[in-house]
Amino acid sequence: MDTLKTEGFDVMGFYYRHNIHPYTECIRRQETLSAYADSINLRVIYQQGYDLEGFLRNAVFREANRCCYCYHDRLKTTALLAKRGKFDYFSTTLLYSKFQQHDLIRSIGESVGKSAGVPFFYKDFRPGWKDGIEKSKQLGMYRQQYCGCIYSEKDRYYKQPSTNKTSRPL
Ligand code: SF4
């Protein structure tokens, strides 16, 4: 937000929900965003419904590549919303994370932007990673401990005795 404001953008948020499990975690993150958005006068569209089943149907049997589906669905939904709302661009907080597949997100964003007819705004927001963490701590915000889906929750907390899996908190 700080970077975009500095560059003169008027930003509206969109909160996508289907990939955040369980539901109580989804609501906790939504409430955190809502309180923050109120404090900085950020308008946010909150996705209606909670299609956990649809998300899992699309991830099952390709769990190892689930992020590709997840990025695509989130970005496509955002692009279509941006197109309908006549926004100049759409983008994603995924570009801020050091734990996500940055180049893949950029490539999917640009592709769905072309299909939807609204440009994808690309920027590498990762240099602000440390500042973002510090700021969220100062504000006493709830901080998510895993990316979102139930698979990532397992990756974060389930420790297999014989393997050394890397956790991906964001
Ligand atoms: S790990 Fe994150 S990006 Fe990947 S499928 Fe799960 S919620 Fe989506």
Give this prediction's pTM: 0.92
Distance between Cα 25 and ligand 1 center (Å): 14
| Ligand 1 and 67: CB distance under 6 A | yes
| Ligand 1 and 97: CB distance under 6 A | no
Distance between Cα 51 and ligand 1 center (Å): 15
17, 58, 98, 151: which to mutate for ligand 1, most atoms within 8 A of CB?
A: 151
DSSP code per residue over the chain: -HHHHHTT---EEEE--TTS-SHHHHHHHHHHHHHHHHHHT-EEEEPPS--HHHHHHHHTT-GGGHHHHHHHHHHHHHHHHHHHTT-S-B--GGGG-SSS-HHHHHHHHHHHHHHHTS-B-----GGGHHHHHHHHHHTT----SS-SSHHHHHHHH---TT--PPP---
pLDDT tens digits, residue range 110-153? 999 999 999 999 999 999 999 999 999 999 999 999 999 999 99
| Ligand 1 and 20: CB distance under 6 A | no
pLDDT tens digits, residue range 65-88? 999 999 999 999 999 999 999 999
pLDDT of res. 169 = 60
Q: Whose CA is nearest to atom 5 of ligand 1?
A: 67
